[in-house]
Amino acid sequence: MNENLNNLVSAAQQGDKNALESLVRRIQDRVHHLAMRMLVNPDDALEATQEILILVITKLSTFRGDSAFQTWVYRVAANYLLTAKKIRDRDRGLNFELFRADLENGLVAAPTAEDTVMLNELRIACTMAMLLCLDLKHRIAYVLGDILELEHGDAADILGISKANYRQRLSRARGEVVDFTTQNCGLANTAAKCTCPRRLPAAMAAGRVVSKNRTYALADAPSYGDVLAQVQKIAAALRTLKLQTATPLFKSPADLGARIARIVEVPFFRSNGSV
């Protein structure tokens, strides 16, 4: 598979339009999944995915094979997600205290009949939105290390920092997420105030989740009941990790191969310096 990918890269670098389209299709789902975990909002994630893929293609001539191609793609993506002005401008200034207060607002004392689909939608939306409480550099460290499960050396290389610095960032981000989850999430702690059944009515009233509109609980996501049963068996840190990784693979909802090939004329590969 890696050999086939390398062949596509080589052909695309030489101006093969079909190879370019195939290459974009091979990487678009991973890029979109990273964007979704960083940004949460589907519209923002799709826009970022397209921008990142355009950067990948326009910088493709600078790829020399010094790292795995997917690592290089993640490096381009991470640089965009950390530095793009439009992403920084959309930052909500969310923190864990504000998030806790929001979770506890409008909790019902006695939930009525449970809608397992919407409970799963809320579960995933909440665990993903929780990461917005981390600043961008700690958020991406957590996503690369604990969500995508990349080797620390690869993650450090993607972010352009030392392995020791990366481990420090990941440890801090993980500690904050674990502490918050184990104290405030009813799935991880049965004594927590907020549970998905108690929170669902307020979340639906506020438009945080919309009935019959599954943005996050896609077909490949574990069910609410399955996750509840699994996390009850896992220790605190592993419970948090299970919640954060129990999301669907956010494949790109648009076929961007042909679209980007039209935007970026082939051959158009200008050398903009190494990424």
- Quote the pLDDT of residue 211: 86
Contacts of 118 (CB under 8 A, 6+ apart): 200, 204, 209, 211
Tokens linked to 44: 């923002």
212 torsion bin: left (phi>0), alpha (psi -120 to 50), beta (else): left
CA 244 to chain centre: 10
CA 192 to chain centre: 26
Cβ atoms of residues 192 and 184 within 8 Å: yes
Amino acid (one-letter) located at 255: D
Neighbour count for residue 37 (Cβ, 10 Å):
22
What is the model's pTM? Answer: 0.85
What is the chain's pLDDT, residue by residue, as a tens digit (275 residues)?
A: 566 888 999 999 999 999 999 999 999 999 999 999 999 999 999 999 999 999 999 999 999 888 899 999 999 999 999 999 999 888 888 999 999 999 999 999 988 767 899 999 999 999 999 999 999 999 999 999 999 999 999 999 999 999 999 999 999 999 999 999 999 999 989 899 999 999 999 999 999 999 878 899 999 999 999 998 888 777 777 778 888 999 999 999 988 988 888 888 655 555 545 44
Which of 233, 209, 33 is CA-nearest to residue 121? 209
Over the stretch 131-157, which tens digit does the pLDDT of each residue have? 999 999 999 999 999 999 999 999 999
